[in-house]
Structure 1
Amino acid sequence: MTYEDLPTVPRAEELIDKAFSRAARAGRAKSGAEAQQSMLQTAGNVLSDNLQNVVTSWPDFDAVDPFYRDLADAVIPASGDTPAGVDGLRTHLSEVMWAGRQAGHIRDEYQSKLRGVDADLARKHRKQAFARLADVTREVEDDLLALGEARDTLKTLPDIRPDEPAVVIAGYPNVGKSTFVNHVTNARNEVASYPFTTTQVRVGHVERDRIRYQLIDTPGLLDRPQAERNGIERQAVSALEHLADCILVFVDASAECGYPVETQLALRDELVERFADIPVLTVCTKADRARDIDADVYLSVTEEEGVEALLDAAVEAVDYELELPFEG
C-alpha cells in the first residue's frame, strides 16, 4: 500500500454546501412536512456518509508496510495540540469519524420530531437540525484541513515498493551514485522528492532472472553522518531499515568528490553498524583514477569496469527468491 490513491479531502464548508444544496433539490420534489423530512434525510446522509468516507479512505496504519508507516511518521507535522506523524493522523481521523456519526444521530433525532407535525413546525425543526449539522461539521474543520495537507504531502513520496527487493545506494555527494543508477537503469524518468529534502530521490530498476530490483539513491539521507541529520531525516533513515535488502556504499578513493577518503570510510563504518542485519558492500568508484582502499567491487562507469560485477554482487547479497505458485 502506498499513499498515491488517497482521495482529496473536502473542506468543512464544501461539505455543508454540498449537503444543503442537495437537500434543497430533494425538498422541491415534495411539499409540506414531507418536504422537510426529505431535506433533512438528504443533508444528514450527505454529511454522515462523506465524513465517514474521509476516514475509511485512509489505510489502517497497523496494516501498512513499516516503511510507509515510518515515512508518514517522518513527514507529517504536528498540528496545533495534535502530535506529529501517524498518531496525529489517527487523532484527526477519529475526530472526523465522530462528526460523521454525530451527523447521523442528529438526522435520526430530528426525523422523529418531524413525524406527525404540520409544515410550519416541521420547517422549524428542520432548520434547527441544519444548524446543528453545520456546527458539527465546522467543529472538525481543522481536522479536515490537517488530513488534506497530510494527504498532499504523502502523495509526493517516491514510488518505492516494499514488496520488491531494494538496493539502497549511500555515500557522500559527487561520488558517482546517480551516474551508476542512470547507467544501469531508466532512472532518468523516475525521480521524486521526499518532502524533507531539497534533492530528488532516484529510483531505477534492474531485472535479473525475472526478478525486478529497485536501485534507490537517497540524497539528503545517507550522504552524511547521523549527527548531521535532523530529526525528520533520522526518522526517514529508520524507514529505510525496513526497506533495504542491501546497502552499497560508494567511496571515491580519488577524493575528487571533495571529501577525504577517511571521512567517506567513517560514513561507511557508521552505516555498517546502523544496518547491522543488512549486507553492506563497499564500492570503490572512479576506480580508473584511484583504488587505494579495500572494497568489494571496483567501479568505473566511464570505463565500463565493474558495472556487471557490482550488479551481480548486489543481487547475490540480496539473495531474493521469487515466490512461485504452488505446483501440486
Structure 2
Amino acid sequence: MIFEGLPTTPRSEELIDKAFSRAARSGRAKSGLEAQQSMLQTAGNILSDNLENVVTEWPDFGVVDPFYRELADAVLRRELDARTGEDGAEQVGLDALRASLSEVTWASRQVETIQREYNTKLRKTDPETARKHRKQAFARMADVVEEVEADLLRVGEARNALRDLPDIRPDEPTIVVAGYPNVGKSSFVNGVTRADNEIASYPFTTRGIQIGHFERNHIRYQIIDTPGLLDRPADERNDIENQAVSALTHLADAVVFVVDASGSCGYPLDAQLALRDAAVDRFDAPVLTVCNKSDRSRDVEADAYMSVTEDENVDAVLDLAVETVDWEPDLPSRSG
C-alpha cells in the first residue's frame, strides 16, 4: 500500500537538536576556521536533507490512482484541522497536506540559502569572527525550522492517519458488494472467498470493511463489502462518507447489489430498489441486481437469484460478476 512505508516525521526541535549536536562533534575533530566551516556544513546538510526527505518520501498525488487520492482526501478531511492559505481561504484534506509539504520544501531551501551565504562569509575571516558568523547562521537556521513546526506536525498526523488504510489494490479487478444491512452481503462475500479474508477499517465507518479474494482463470479478484457506506442512502451519509463512496467508484469494475425480496432484512423492497438505483447513478461500473433469500421470495426483477444460506446459485452469481467485469490482463507482448 502506497502510504504504508512512510517514515515518521521529525519535530522541529528534534531536527535542530540532531543537526547541532552532530555539528558540535564535527567541530571538535578540527580547529580554528576549519572547525567553524565543518560545523556549518554539517548542520546545514542535516537540516536541509532531512526536511527534503520529509517531502520526497510522499507519493506524487498527481499520479496516484484516483481511488487512493480521493480516499486519502476523505481521511484527511476528517483527521486534520483546516489551515489557512496565503489567499485567506481554508485548505482541508489533501490541499492542507500539500500546503504543509510545500512549506517544508521552502524551509529546506531556506536552510541551503543560509548555508551558502555563511560559507562565503567564513572563507576569508579569522576564527573568532567565523565563530560569530556560524552562530548567527545556526540561529537563522533554527528560526526557519521552527517556523514550519506546525507543518511538520500536520505531515506527521497525515502519515499516521493514512498508513493503516486497508490494502486495496486498484490494479486488481474489483467487485463491490452493496445493499441494505441484513440482506446477506457479508455471507455472500464469506462464501465466495478464501478463508483468509481481511477485515480492515476505514476511519469513517463504524464497522470494518471486508476484503476477500478469489481466483478465476489464474486472475486474482478482490471483492469488497463496505458496511457503513453503501448500506444506506446518500442523504444519510456525511460529506466525508460520500467522498469515500466516490473513491470506491474509481475502484469498482462491477457492483453486486444484493436485495431481499422477502423483506426479512427489515427494509421494504421499494427502499432497497431506490438505493440500488442510486448506486446505478453513482457508479460508472455495471450494477448487477441479485436477489438473495430466493428460497423465501423471488418477487423482484433481478439479474440473478440465489440463497446463500441454502447454497443455491452462489457460484453462478460470482461467475456472472466475473463475466460482467470482463477483465483482460495486460500480458507482455512477444516479439520475434
TM-score (norm 1): 0.96
Q: Does 1:305 align with 2:312?
A: yes
Aligned residues of 2:83 and 2:92 also touching (Cα < 8 A):
no
> What's 2:44 paired with?
44
Q: Return the offset for 1:189.
A: 4.1
Q: Does residue 196 of the first structure (1) align with residue 204 of the second (2)?
A: yes
Match of 1:79 in 2: 82
User: Secondary structure, in 3 states, of the residue corresponding to 1:212?
Assistant: strand
- Superposition misfits of 4+ residues, deviation over 4 angstroms: none
| Amino acid of the structure 2 residue aligned with 1:243 | L
2:287 to 280, 305, 310: 280
Q: Between 288-297 and 14-23, report the one with greater CA deviation.
A: 288-297
In structure 2, what is the equivalent of residue 177 of structure 1?
Answer: 185
Q: Distance in 2 between matches of 1:226 and 1:43?
A: 53
CA shift for structure 1 position 66:
0.8
Segment drifting more, 255-264 vs 207-216:
255-264
Aligned to 1:9: 9
- 8 Å contact from structure 2 (residues 187, 308) kept in 1: yes
| Match in the other structure for 1:233 | 241
- State how far apart, in whole Å, the 2-side matches of 1:2 and 1:282 are: 33
Contact 2:121 2:133 in 1 (8 A): yes
| Letter in structure 2 aligned against 1:254 | S
Q: Aligned pair 1:250/2:253, yes or no?
A: no
Find the partner of 1:289 among 296, 300, 323.
296
Counterpart position of 1:133:
141
Residue 88 of structure 2 is matched in structure 1 by: none
Secondary structure, aligned partner of 2:84: coil
**Contact 1:187–1:205 (CA<8 Å) still a contact in 2?**
no
Any idea what SS the aligned residue of 1:117 has? coil
1:195 alignment partner, SS class: coil
Q: In structure 2, how many angstroms separate the alpha carbons of the residues matched to 1:224 and 1:124?
A: 67
Count of aligned residue pairs for this structure pair: 327
CA shift for structure 1 position 5: 2.1
Q: Is the 8 A contact 2:232 2:275 kept in 1?
A: yes
- Separation in 1 of the partners of 2:129 and 2:25? 20
1:79–1:146: 8 Å Cα contact kept in structure 2? no
Tell me the TM-score normalised to structure 2 length. Answer: 0.94
Q: CA deviation at 1:187?
A: 6.2
Shift of 1:168: 0.4
CA displacement, residues 177-226 of structure 1 (integer Å, 9 cap, x when unaligned): 11111122136541211111221111111100111111011111111111
CA distance in 1 between counterparts of 2:165 and 2:264 reads: 32
Q: Which amino acid aligns with 2:240?
A: I
Give per-residue Cα distances to partners, 1:230-251, cap 9 Å, x unaligned. Answer: 1111111111111110001111
CA shift, 1:288, in A, is 2.4
Q: Secondary structure at the match of 2:9?
A: coil
AA of the residue aligned to 1:204: G
Q: What is the match of residue 318 of structure 1?
A: 325
**Identical-pair percentage:** 68
Distance in 1, Cα, partners of 2:156 & 2:311: 47
Return the offset for 1:108: 1.1
Task: Please report the RMSD computed on the Cα atoms of aligned residues, expressed in angstroms.
Answer: 1.4
Give the Cα separation in 1 of the matches to 2:197 and 2:28.
54
2:99 is aligned with 1:96? no
Instruction: State the Cα distance separating 1:116 from its structure 2 match.
Output: 2.8
Q: Distance in 2 between matches of 1:5 and 1:187?
A: 27
